[in-house]
């Protein structure tokens, strides 16, 4: 780390430590401070390609790749994906989590490319929706959430964002409108939409064998791409109807 860097300003321990280590990188990630974590782990990884450093480099770069996609920076995201592919043989992955994450990144890259074409060629509402979902993901990261999935599909049903907050899985529906002239965006989360979301959530939990607590949130955004002050409202623990089949709900 450069001698000019003020460790006190990072919130990390300063006594008996002149440079960051892998533990510090994971701490920055847990706080949602991804850019700082990325700078730190790249410096570490330049000199240490051991298992722990490789693991930290992989997951931090994965986070940054998804962040760059949300920002519309697909060229940089492609370069990061290529680097992840190269380093994968050195990443400890007994449970296959890193491999699944890498496959997910490939899928997200395909979705990101489609979103870019939609922005350039597609209807305005598609552009606005993709922008809103990216803004919601950035908002959650700033609040300390870890983004696990974006645009996760179960058949024709989808979940906009799946995130983690402490020990809770958070499923997020994002609704974006250019204005409130015709309807509040929250009204779009109608009963049929809620039932579809509950089915998708059940499928995700069962397919991933997840038994931890979870909840469903809604983020509404009013604004248009490029506007300076969009309205963002986060409704936590939005109540869905009871599951239509099997599986218990463990609301936080």
pLDDT at 225: 80
Indicate if 148 and 252 belong to the same structural domain. Answer: yes
pLDDT at residue 80, as a whole number: 93
Which residues sit opposite 169 in a β-bridge? Answer: 164, 214
Check: CB of residue 217 under 8 Å from CB of residue 238: yes
Size of the chain in residues: 252
Is 189 a residue whose pLDDT tops 50? yes
Taking the C-alpha atoms of residue 91 and residue 54, their distance in angstroms, rounded to an integer, is 5
Burial of 245 (0-12, 13-18, 19+ CB in 10 A): exposed
Give residue 17's pLDDT: 47
Q: Do 209 and 165 share a structural domain? A: yes
Which of residues 122, 157, 177 is at a domain's end? 122
Most confident region among 61-70, 79-88, 154-163, 177-186 by mean pLDDT: 79-88
The pTM of the full predicted model, rounded to 2 decimals, is 0.49
Confidence tier at 242 by pLDDT (50, 70, 90)? low
Q: What is the mean pLDDT of residues 88-114?
A: 78
Ranges 60-64, 148-152, 237-241: which has the least confidence: 237-241
Q: Are residues 3 and 82 in the same domain?
A: yes
Beta-carbon contacts of residue 51 (< 8 Å; ≥ 6 apart)? 90, 92
Confidence at residue 240, expressed as pLDDT on a 0 to 100 scale = 65
* Residues 129 and 194 reside in one and the same domain: yes
Whether 8 shows a pLDDT value over 60: the answer reads no
Query: In this structure, are 115 and 137 located in the same domain?
Result: no
Same domain, 162 and 80: no
CATH number at residue 163: 3.40.1350.10
Nearest Cα to 66, choosing from 89, 27, 38? Answer: 38
Q: Which residues lie below 8 Å from residue 128, measured CB to CB, with a gap of 6+? A: 176, 177, 178, 224, 225
Q: Would the pLDDT of 74 be above 70?
A: yes
159 and 107 inside one domain:
no
Mean pLDDT for the chain overall: 78
Do 74 and 196 lie in a common domain?
Answer: no
Instruction: Kindly state whether residues 60 and 97 are assigned to the same domain.
Output: yes
pLDDT of residue 190: 78
Last residue of a domain, one of 122, 149, 171: 122
pLDDT at 161: 94
Among the residue ranges 113-127, 154-168, 225-239, the one predicted with the least confidence is 113-127
Q: How many domains does the chain have?
A: 2
pLDDT tens string 17-67: 457 889 999 888 877 788 999 999 999 999 999 999 999 999 999 988 888
58-62, 115-119, 155-159, 170-174: least confident range: 115-119
SS3 100: helix
**Listed residues 122, 137, 152: the one ending a domain:** 122
| Same domain? 143 vs 250 | yes
Beta-bridged to residue 19, according to DSSP, are: none
CB atoms within 10 A of CB 52: 15
Question: Which residue range(s) make up the domain with 68?
Answer: 1-122
Judgement on whether residues 244 and 138 belong to the same structural domain of the protein: yes
Residues 177 and 70 occupy one common structural domain: no
Q: Is the pLDDT of residue 121 over 90?
A: no
């Amino acid at each position: 780390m450069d001698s000019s860097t003020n460790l006190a300003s990072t919130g990390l321990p300063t006594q008996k430590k002149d440079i960051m280590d892998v533990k510090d990188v994971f701490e920055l990630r847990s706080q949602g401070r991804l850019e700082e974590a990325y700078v730190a782990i790249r410096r570490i990884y330049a000199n240490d390609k051991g298992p722990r450093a490789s693991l930290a480099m992989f997951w931090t770069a994965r986070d940054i790749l998804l962040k760059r996609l949300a920002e519309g920076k697909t060229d940089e995201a492609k370069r990061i994906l290529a680097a992840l592919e190269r380093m994968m043989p050195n990443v400890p992955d007994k449970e296959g989590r890193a491999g699944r994450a890498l496959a997910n990144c490939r899928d997200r890259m395909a979705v990101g490319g489609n979103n870019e074409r939609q922005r350039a060629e597609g209807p305005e509402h598609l552009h606005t929706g993709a922008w809103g979902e990216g803004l919601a993901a950035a908002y959650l990261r700033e609040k300390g959430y870890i983004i696990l999935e974006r645009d996760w599909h179960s058949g024709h049903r989808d979940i906009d964002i799946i995130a983690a907050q402490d020990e809770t899985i958070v499923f997020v529906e994002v609704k974006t409108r250019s204005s409130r002239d015709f309807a509040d965006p929250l009204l779009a989360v109608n009963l049929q939409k809620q039932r579809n979301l509950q089915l998708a959530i059940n499928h995700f939990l069962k397919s991933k064998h997840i038994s931890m607590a979870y909840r469903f949130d809604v983020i509404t955004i009013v604004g248009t791409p490029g506007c300076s002050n969009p309205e963002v409202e986060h409704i936590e623990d939005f109540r869905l109807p009871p599951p239509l089949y099997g599986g218990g709900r463990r609301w936080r």
